[in-house]
Amino acid sequence: MAIANTYPRLRAAVSRIAQSIPVVAGVVVISFLLTRALPGDPAAYFAGAAADEASIQEVRVALGLDKPLIQQFFIYVGDLLQGDLGQSLSSGQAVAADLAKRLPASLELTLTALIVSCGLAIPLGILAATQPGSWIDHLCRVVVTAGVSLPTFFTGILLIYVFYYLLGIAPSPLGRLDFIYIEPDRITGFYLIDAAVAGDWETWFGALKQLVLPAVTLALFTLAPIARMTRAAMLTALSADFIRTAKAAGLTNRKVLYGYAFRNALLPVVTTLGMVFSFALGANVLVEKVFAWPGIGSYAVEALVVSDYAAVQGFVLAMALLFVLLNLIIDLAYTAIDPRIGFSSK
């Protein structure tokens, strides 16, 4: 029975991945064209301010920018099919290596922020829905409004000013780890996990202290849509006929609230989580710049400034693959929450 249920799910998962291939291909084409439309000449930038036209032309030939645009595109696609994302002109390293080094930093920050925001927003949304018009409901609205209104860079700077400059209880906002600590041996790239695996709890606490302020900054941004959707979905579920039937059957309030209402409200909340994860990766750019966090957001900004084509294209492609993977995970989560949805591969 288990094998019979697993096969259709596996086939459907493969089908969803196949459906995402045109999306990724479109991203490759668009990112290639948009990077070529960036202002500035990377050849002139890397040749130096004192370079003459002949020197700039030599750099342009070395970078392959002298070739027709369509030829540049096919060269780029051929390299992609071999797993080569190109070499970053600004870092001098392979783009794939740069992304592999920086992506765990961004994911650790984003996932920590989502855990914090879900831990606060979902209970707050449930309480607001069960007590409409109460002070908890008004608090939920205030939190939602503040989260939507305050820019992440302003929130980050404010937290640094209060907790680092005024109170002195936060470490300096200069990356993932203070200079007094040694980076843990790389296993996953997540400092909290790697330090815990190594049993280095001093480094673990050091990494956690550095993570708190940027994670809270991002959590305040992601908290608002999750709390708002949880409240709206719970209000809809609590007003449904099956809830009144469950109450009339003598079920406890806890069973009705969490066993029936919350489970039926989970689907839109999970959908919102997927969207929020996408937004958080975008907001990471500002948070990483404020806290000097060495993630892919700051990497992309640095690449854009110098028109580093390979780095920008690698960043966009990595984001596209992350979103495809996220959508697949959400589809799988739907069927786990409500098996009635099914997982048709059609």
pLDDT tens by residue, 56-104 = 777 777 767 777 878 888 888 888 888 778 778 777 788 888 888 888 9
pTM: 0.80
pLDDT at 1: 43
Pick the CATH number of 98-305 from 3.40.50.300, 1.10.3720.10, 1.25.40.10, 3.40.50.1000: 1.10.3720.10
DSSP-assigned letters across all residues of 158-216: HHIIIIIIIS--S--SSSSS-TTS-PPPPSSS-HHHHHHHHT-HHHHHHHHHHHHHHHH
Which residues, 6 or more positions from 82, have their beta carbon under 8 angstroms from its beta carbon?
Answer: none
Q: Are 283 and 165 a contacting pair, CB within 8 Å? A: no
CA distances from 279 to 105, 114, 222, 323 (A): 17, 11, 8, 11
Report, as an integer, the average pLDDT of 325-332.
77
Burial of 24 (0-12, 13-18, 19+ CB in 10 A): middle
- Please provide the average confidence, as pLDDT, over all residues in the chain: 81
Q: Domain locations in the chain?
A: 10-81, 98-305
User: Tokens at residue 215, please?
Assistant: 């994670």
Q: Is the dihedral of CA 330, 333, 334, 335 positive or negative?
A: positive
Lowest mean pLDDT among 170-174, 191-195, 204-208, 339-343: 339-343
Residue that has been written with the tokens 């500002």 in this structure? 286
Per residue, the 3-state secondary structure of 62-97, as one string, reads HHCCCCCHHHHHHHHHHHHHCCCCCECCCCCCEHHH
Q: 112-127: b or e for each residue (b if 16 or more CB lie within 10 Å)?
A: bbbebbbebbbebbbb
The yes-or-no verdict on residue 196 having pLDDT over 60 is yes
Q: CA 165 to CA 282: how far, in whole Å?
A: 27
Strands of the chain, DSSP E: none
**pLDDT bucket at 204, cuts 50 / 70 / 90:** very high
Taking every pair of Cα atoms in the chain, the longest distance, rounded to a whole number of angstroms, is 86
User: Tokens at residue 125, please?
Assistant: 């949304």
Report, as an integer, the average pLDDT of 188-215.
91
Which residues, 6 or more positions from 197, have their beta carbon under 8 angstroms from its beta carbon?
Answer: 184, 187
User: Tokens at residue 102, please?
Assistant: 């920086």
The yes-or-no verdict on residue 4 having pLDDT over 50 is no
Q: Are 286 and 220 a contacting pair, CB within 8 Å? A: no
pLDDT at 150: 79
User: Phi and psi dihedrals of 36, rounded to 5?
Assistant: -70, -20
CA distances from 81 to 43, 73, 85, 86, 161 (A): 26, 12, 9, 12, 47
Report, as an integer, the average pLDDT of 203-224.
90
pLDDT at 2: 45
Q: Give helix then strand counts, H and E, for the chain.
A: 14, 0
